[in-house]
Amino acid sequence: MKKWVAVFLALVIVGVIFSGTLAEIKERGKLIVGTEPTFPPFEYVNENNEIVGFDIDIAQKIADELGVELEILNLPFDSLIPALISDKIDLIVAGMTITEERAKVIDFSIPYFNANQAIVVRDGEPFMPQTLGDLKGKKVAVQLGTTGDLVVSDISGVTITRFQKFTDAFLELQNKRVDAVVLDEAVANAYVKTFPKFIVAAVIDTGEKYGIGVKKGNEELLEFVNTVISNMFKSPYDLLVEKWFEETK
Ligand code: ARG
């Protein structure tokens, strides 16, 4: 009996040590990435019901470089960090802004995209906010736990409705139950492009940078992800310079 307890404990310990590490991912044969796919063009569900986008291509590149399959887990945005901490996913690739608060509990890769917030309203109506202050006394929809949520929560006198999905936030705007949606600029532009009844009223310079989330202490995976990203930044010219002038091996 005692022997089995010891074996079990040993397996648990090994499991804890190896979970999410490069060795474990390779052994498992797949990289599990968590995202929230109502965030076009970074991640969204296409007409074939597949999750696609800029972030998904980056995640695919990381999986390819590891030589494993890519599995995408669709989770609410505010569940991504808990899922990473509890080893349900190996990485967060979700247009996630690197913030001080988040960096206390998870690690971030080098930045891979710059972002600002935008205010979206119904086109052709008198309400055209130019600043965050113009949202005072108004009803505003955001995605729960995002930087947009934080920015709007900082203004007093705003009625905030927090949604899990941006698609629901825009439905609320369309149905005139809110006056505006606040979200990342590139994503605001993507929604306005598909739904011309909306318009970007203003861009708020928040100077955000997206990073890929890695579990704290998982240095090996973090290094790997950083290498893949920095290689993606290199132009064919950079690669030639590296090949002919910097290659030392
Ligand atoms: N950049 C914002 C943040 O980090 C919004 C990200 C939302 N991403 C998503 N896949 N829904 O809070």
Domain residues for the domain of 146 are: 115-208
Predicted pLDDT of residue 145: 98
Question: Are residues 12 and 97 part of one domain?
Answer: yes
Mean pLDDT of 38-65: 98
Query: Which CATH number do you get for residue 177?
Result: 3.40.190.10
- 3-41 pLDDT tens trace: 777 767 766 665 555 566 899 999 999 999 999 999 999
Mean pLDDT of 165-186: 98
Question: Are residues 38 and 66 part of one domain?
Answer: yes
Question: Are residues 139 and 218 part of one domain?
Answer: no
- 208-247 pLDDT tens trace: 999 999 999 999 999 999 999 999 999 999 999 999 998 6
Is the distance from the beta carbon of residue 147 to the nearest atom of ligand 1 less than 6 Å? yes
Predicted pLDDT of residue 21: 86
62 touches 31 (CB < 8 A): yes
Predicted pLDDT of residue 16: 56
List of residues 6+ apart from 240 with CB closer than 8 A: none
Question: Are residues 173 and 153 part of one domain?
Answer: yes
1: CA distance to ligand 1 center in Å?
Answer: 49
Number of structural domains (the chain) is 2
Find the distance separating the first CA and the last CA of the chain, reported in whole Å.
Answer: 54
Q: What is the pTM of this model?
A: 0.91
Is the distance from the beta carbon of residue 149 to the nearest atom of ligand 1 less than 6 Å? no
Predicted pLDDT of residue 139: 98
Question: Are residues 226 and 176 part of one domain?
Answer: no
- 130-152 pLDDT tens trace: 999 999 999 999 999 999 999 99
56: CA distance to ligand 1 center in Å?
Answer: 14
Question: Are residues 232 and 183 part of one domain?
Answer: no
Question: Are residues 179 and 128 part of one domain?
Answer: yes
- 84-119 pLDDT tens trace: 999 999 999 999 999 999 999 999 999 999 999 999
pLDDT at 249 over 70: no
Is the distance from the beta carbon of residue 143 to the nearest atom of ligand 1 less than 6 Å? yes
Is the distance from the beta carbon of residue 96 to the nearest atom of ligand 1 less than 6 Å? yes
Question: Are residues 199 and 100 part of one domain?
Answer: no
Q: Which ranges of the chain would DSSP assign to H, the alpha helix?
A: 2-18, 22-28, 54-66, 80-85, 100-103, 147-153, 166-174, 185-194, 219-233, 236-241
Q: Tokens 């790997």, residue?
A: 224
125: CA distance to ligand 1 center in Å?
Answer: 28
What is the DSSP pairing of strand 106-108 with strand 213-215? Answer: antiparallel
Is the distance from the beta carbon of residue 184 to the nearest atom of ligand 1 less than 6 Å? yes
Is the distance from the beta carbon of residue 185 to the nearest atom of ligand 1 less than 6 Å? no
Is the distance from the beta carbon of residue 77 to the nearest atom of ligand 1 less than 6 Å? yes
pLDDT at 78 over 80: yes
Q: Tokens 């318009």, residue?
A: 199
Question: Are residues 195 and 221 part of one domain?
Answer: no
